[in-house]
Amino acid sequence: MPSLKDIKLTKLGAFVLDLSDQVLYRDADEVSIEPKVMALLLYLYENRDRYVNIEELHQEVWSDRIVSDTAVRSAVKKLRLILGDDDIANARYVKSVSKRGYKLVCEIAPVDTLETEVQPVSDTSASDTSSDLSPDLPPESYSPSESALTEQPQVTPHKQGMVFKVLIVLVTFVSVIIGWTKYDAITQFVLDSQVASVSELEQLTGFNGEKENLSVSMDGRYVAFTGRTSIEEDRQVYLLDRQNNKIRQLTYHANNAAFVQFAQNDKVIIYSDLIGNKTSVKLLPLTLSDPESGRITLIEGVVAVGDPSRGRHASEVLLPMLVDLESEMTLYALDLHTREYVRMLAPSDASEILFDVSLSPDKQRVALIKKIKGQFHTLLFDLATKEETLLYSSKHTLYGVEWKSNSSVLIMAKGALFQVDSLTGGHTRLIEDSDVLLRSFDTHDGADIVLLQKEFSRAKRLYIEHQLTSQIEASQIINTTPQVVAMMYDEQSDEHRWVMHLKDGITTIGHMTMSTRETKPYYSSEENVELLDVSYLAGGILFKEGPKLAFYSFEHSQVQYITSSMETSSDAAFSADGSAIYYGVNVAGEWEIQSYDITSKVSNLLIPGYRSIRPAGTGYIVAEPIDAQLFYLSDLTGPAKPLNHPIDFRYICRWYVRGDHIVWTAFDDRNTYLHKLNWQTGAHHAFEDRFYALYPTIAADTAGEKVLALSVQLNDTSIATIKIDH
């Protein structure tokens, strides 16, 4: 397909598009068109061989700003109005198909000039004679001469037949086009009408305890899952027999079982277990009456393991794994006989995180879910050609992927389970999950879908204020709605808190009055948002919106983007005087700290070799990029003093410098660890609590004496099923 660089002028139906100057013409006259509408037209032209969904338009055409879906559809409407494409059912320029997107369907061909074609006048006596007709004479008074009759072209029966045949072909062609459009619309309507709701799911178990992950046996009879019944327990491995509806506990001594997968023709179960900050992979033989007595450790001491999948043969498991802190999340093939694992697919980007994998029934392709620079993507990896192609993208979380057949995959996203055609990318919604209750799923045949269904979209929660003395002591309990997903201190007022609300996919940063719980909104976004800090001295709010670091100015009531969606950045903090924002950024594989001047909106290199930084007195506390070890710098050019403690870079963790103290969190999915270190004297205190009882996203007060922490109840979860055979 030619690109914009190859063609200067192209015909779009009755219009001509100048691709180099980005101007639209009609009959050689320039057509007035807004810049974003022109950008939309150019993008549809560049991708004219396929449908472009609304998420892609957000990412590609509106990458420089955050707009709603309504704004995108409004631009499409403006484009149709300009093109005179007023019959959507029989679109002549921009065709839209539900769940697939928009496509340019008009005649497209390169042209050499803007001049319109002039139809030649027929040089016939009939034409000349007709032009001499006198309007003053009645029609019956006019009698053509004999010579005129003899010179007039004769329409022979043969020519009449040819004209009739051409008309038949044209009518047939138009009918086919209209019929196909209607068929396509009817097909989509039928598919949409078959969308199931969560209320239609059949419950296999009750809502008793938390369940984390599941796997279905090859015959569909058994469901393995991990879970626990109370916050004090460790997650164990269980087995549900769907034939008699009985649940059997397989492990009693797992530390924190997470992912499970049947293997070796359903004779064994593989599960991951988190111990401290290290993960192991273990095998349970189901032939034993006590499977845990025959437990075998396959892998031990790696940093993280993702959701596994069946491999290319019975004794192989595909495993997303982070081996050590210096590597990236990589797809491995684990041989259960030799216990050796080999790399199948390396990441292409340093910020890439691999979450889930699934091997196609014909063993030719692997479907992958990755998070890259804040965006979730489903990709297909061809095992023969080693090529990776993008299938689906979303700014919202994708929870899992499984193959329905060799030509389609099932994807669980936030709010829906849908099916995607692996060739065309067209997707059909199968289950509507408006309350976001579904968390994980598996299938053995593509039709019998087994899912984990939470009782609540968000578990019941409180915010607890803790005093950091020699012991951690709860001093205040703040009751909130489940929509409050983050809370920070207000440095100027004990009567207020800065909060983040999440409702209907919209995150809002606001200022909450403690006595009334009323919140004044400041900024809203459809992206994933992390609230980092608020400074009255700097005059604004510091946060991450997707992968981009952003600053909201109180004075101007607008957002400044400090980094782009293409950059990999760490957390950030305000400078001591509030004039700048310090942040880490990965440049060509190396981390460095940059300083963003809030007034001039310009970033400059502050210091290389570190990933995160905080002002501390007249100096700085910095963290190394690999092992996150902390150092004190009296100035930016002097030697670094080791503090002999690491922080945790994972995005739900926080760290603060408050006077002489550093306060930070770490976690291992079993416990959260709260640390307080005097960077002057080295005095250190550590506290721990269950992960949900003390969530790692804390906020520290200005004195470093108190922290606010989220405390969440277990979200009871059931196992449910539904048949989807369309």
String of DSSP letters for 611-677: SEEEEETTEEEEE-TTT-EEEEESSSSSPEEEEEEE---STT--EEEETTEEEEEEE-SSEEEEEEE
Q: Do the beta carbons of residue 585 and residue 594 sit within 8 Å?
A: yes
**Residue 327 within any structural domain of the chain:** no
Higher pLDDT, 99 or 620: 620
Rounded CA gap, 527 and 510, in Å? 16
Is the confidence at residue 84, as pLDDT, over 60?
Answer: yes
What's the confidence (pLDDT) of residue 93?
A: 92
**Residue 25 within any structural domain of the chain:** yes
Cα angle value 195/196/202 (rounded, 5°): 160
What's the confidence (pLDDT) of residue 553?
A: 96
Among 158-162, 175-179, 303-307, 534-538, top mean pLDDT goes to: 534-538
State mean pLDDT over 666-678: 91
What's the confidence (pLDDT) of residue 173?
A: 60
Q: Do the beta carbons of residue 646 and residue 627 sit within 8 Å?
A: yes
* Residues in CB range of 122: below 8 A, 6 or more apart: none
Co-location of 586 and 690 in the same domain = yes
Co-location of 553 and 672 in the same domain = yes
The length of the chain, given as a count of residues: 726
Q: Of 266, 318, 258, 277, whose CA–CA distance to 439 is shortest?
A: 258
Rounded CA gap, 589 and 570, in Å? 13
What's the confidence (pLDDT) of residue 135?
A: 35
State mean pLDDT over 520-546: 95
Alpha helix ranges (H) inside 85-156: 125-131, 146-151
**Residue 401 within any structural domain of the chain:** no
Higher pLDDT, 167 or 561: 561
Give the CATH number for residue 33. 1.10.10.10
Rounded CA gap, 562 and 578, in Å? 15
Mean pLDDT lowest among 130-139, 397-406, 581-590, 690-699: 130-139
Give the CATH number for residue 246. 2.120.10.30
Number of structural domains in the chain: 3
**Residue 469 within any structural domain of the chain:** yes
| Domain end residue (candidates: 75, 110, 145) | 110
Among 42-51, 140-149, 153-162, 469-478, top mean pLDDT goes to: 42-51
Is the confidence at residue 136, as pLDDT, over 90?
Answer: no
Count the Cβ atoms, other than its own, within 10 Å of residue 612. Answer: 23
Count the Cβ atoms, other than its own, within 10 Å of residue 578. Answer: 14
Confidence of residue 150 (pLDDT cuts 50, 70, 90): very low
**Residue 120 within any structural domain of the chain:** no
Copy the structure tokens of residue 486. 């983050």
Co-location of 526 and 652 in the same domain = yes
Give the residue numbers spanning the domain of 549: 461-712
Higher pLDDT, 155 or 228: 228
Say if residue 456 is exposed, middle or buried (CB neighbours under 10 Å; 0-12, 13-18, 19+). middle
Is the confidence at residue 476, as pLDDT, over 80?
Answer: yes
Rounded CA gap, 500 and 71, in Å? 24
Is the confidence at residue 612, as pLDDT, over 50?
Answer: yes
Is the confidence at residue 148, as pLDDT, over 80?
Answer: no
Confidence of residue 190 (pLDDT cuts 50, 70, 90): very low
Rounded CA gap, 703 and 721, in Å? 52
Question: For the chain, how big is the Rg over CA atoms in Å?
Answer: 32
**Residue 559 within any structural domain of the chain:** yes
What's the confidence (pLDDT) of residue 670?
A: 82
| Domain end residue (candidates: 239, 269, 303) | 303
Rounded CA gap, 464 and 714, in Å? 16
Co-location of 704 and 593 in the same domain = yes
**Residue 482 within any structural domain of the chain:** yes
What's the confidence (pLDDT) of residue 638?
A: 86
State mean pLDDT over 567-585: 95
Higher pLDDT, 498 or 435: 498
| One-character DSSP codes across 173-211 | HHHHHHHHHHHHHHHHHHHHHT-EEGGGPEESS-S-SEE
Higher pLDDT, 547 or 534: 534
What's the confidence (pLDDT) of residue 138?
A: 34
